[in-house]
Amino acid sequence: MIKQTTLDALNRYVVGHVPTGDFLLAVLSNNLVESFAHADDENLAAMHEITKYIYNMMPSKCWGSPEKVEAWLGERD
């Protein structure tokens, strides 16, 4: 199960183009090593669910590479 603070951060990122912390930034940027390095125990245990959520629920143009994340964040109001 994904902890609520992680879901809230992902939703703020999608809806408001709000930057995330280091862990989610690494996950969204598709940086496996940094993702695991920055994960706390709860996010580490939920890594599979987090990646499934991103893949299935978030627009593909906002995740998958550092360039996509940077472009998404650049669309902030």
User: Does 75 have pLDDT greater than 90?
Assistant: no
Encoded amino acid at 27, one letter: V
Token digits of residue 14: 């999608």
User: Does 63 have pLDDT greater than 70?
Assistant: yes
Give the pLDDT of residue 77. Answer: 57
**Contact 62/68 with Cβ under 8 angstroms?**
yes
**Residue 58 CB partners (closer than 8 Å, separation 6+):** 10, 14
Question: Could you tell me the pTM of the whole model?
Answer: 0.94
**Contact 29/65 with Cβ under 8 angstroms?**
yes
> Where does residue 45 rank: exposed (0-12), middle (13-18), buried (19+ CB within 10 A)?
middle
Q: What average pLDDT does range 5-23 have in this prediction?
A: 98
